Chain A
Amino acid sequence: MGSSPSIFRFISTIFPWLFFFSILFLMGSLFWGLFLAPTDYKQGDAYRIIFIHVPSAILGQSGYIFMAVFGFICLVWRVKVAGMIVRSIAPVGASFTLLALVSGSIWGKPTWGTWWVWDARLTSTLILFFLYIAIISLFSVIESKQKADRAGSILALVGVAIIPIIKKSVDWWQTLHQSSTFSLSSSPSMTADMYLPLLSCVLAFYLIFLVIVLSRMKLEIVQRERSTNWVKDFYS
């Protein structure tokens, strides 16, 4: 455990299975949400964007928390693999955050009457996106991989304060964005035939997130260790 070759081999073994399972699971969940779930009494079919918007927003935030945790490990124990994980997550988390912003905007135009409004929830999510961009820039601007890993980890760790702000923004301040439809602590403000497909979409997005991060990890390991014998052996 912990050495690059063994992690590389482990990812290579499970990857094809995980990949096909995740794609199937995602297609099934999206079909369930976008076609089989009932329409909303007020918004009609427009509400179906929730099956994309909510999972991508959740993943944008979870991705950041994962980055902060592995950043902490990278900084304290100087574990190389932790740095690689932070580096692999950054662009994926950024993409999901962007997807949440764009899908929310597309939904906002017909429902609220505007593409964008500077309320606390939307603004804090935009800050999360900028944090991701800053971390990605640090990784690409600093040439020494080790130094870049540490710099990115520090920013990931410090920026994690944005997550509770995003989460609680709709409760702390008056916002245009509605409060959460489902949480772990109370029953969802949705009927089961709507939130079950939503839950399924969230799981599917987690799987897809894992798949993309793992494939980026593989690439990262090969890039860093391209001159070693085990990489040459593996590809010959």
Chain B
Amino acid sequence: MNPIRKQRVYALVAILLGVSVAIFLVLNGLKQNLNLFYTPTQVIKENLLEVNKLARVGGMVKDNSFTEHTNSLMKSFEITDFNESIVVVYKGILPDLFSEGSGVVVQGMLTEEGSFEASEVLAKHDENYMPPEVAKTLKYK
């Protein structure tokens, strides 16, 4: 390679390295802010959430925790990350994929009693896809 080209390669590599370091530092500084939601452990053990401040919490809907008011849209369920769990109260319509044992992300506020009052519930889909027959044999519901 002739000297001019070599110089260009060095310059480009230097630029790329500089940009990568800058991006790494920014992302590292923003670590927690880049997460879409807090886990129940972070809410209960680490007390990362302030009361009455808008935030998102995510995890699995605990089995047999879902209850529904018969004559209103009030619902409650527990979200767990298999260490801690938090009770969520929600008034509204749930997305189609919402079910016990699958993931959700809820947006709302932590109340003083320690439960979470959600204003929005989003279903989190996992990366597994399979035909119904296969799911049946694997005892998925």
Contacts and interface: CB of A to CB of B under 8 A. Distances in A.
The main secondary structure of chain B at its interface with chain A is mixed
A110 interface: yes
Interface in A74-132: 75-77, 110-114, 117-120
Nearest to B32: A173
Interface in B42-78: 58
Interface magnitude class on chain A: 35 or more
Given A76-B5, A158-B15, A113 B131 contact: no
Given A158-B15, A189-B128, A174 B37 contact: yes
Interface magnitude class on chain B: 35 or more
The main secondary structure of chain A at its interface with chain B is loop
B111 interface: no
A158 B18 CA distance: 10
Looking at B97, B120, B133, which has the most chain A CB atoms within 10 Å of its CB?
B97
Interface stretch (A14-22, A42-50, A135-143): A42-50
A165 interface: yes
B121 A40 contact: no
A215 interface: no
B134 A191 contact: yes
Interface of B: 5, 8-9, 12, 15-16, 19-20, 23, 27, 34-37, 39, 58, 94-97, 105, 120-136, 140
Interface of A: 38-43, 47, 50, 72, 75-77, 110-114, 117-120, 154, 157-158, 160-161, 165, 172-176, 178-181, 189-191, 193-194
Nearest first, the 8 closest Cβ-Cβ pairs linking A and B are: A41-B135, A113-B95, A38-B131, A119-B36, A174-B35, A41-B132, A178-B127, A189-B128
Given A112-B122, A161-B19, 16 more contacts: A38-B131, A38-B132, A39-B131, A40-B129, A41-B134, A41-B135, A41-B136, A50-B129, A75-B8, A110-B96, A111-B125, A113-B94, A117-B122, A176-B105, A178-B127, A191-B134
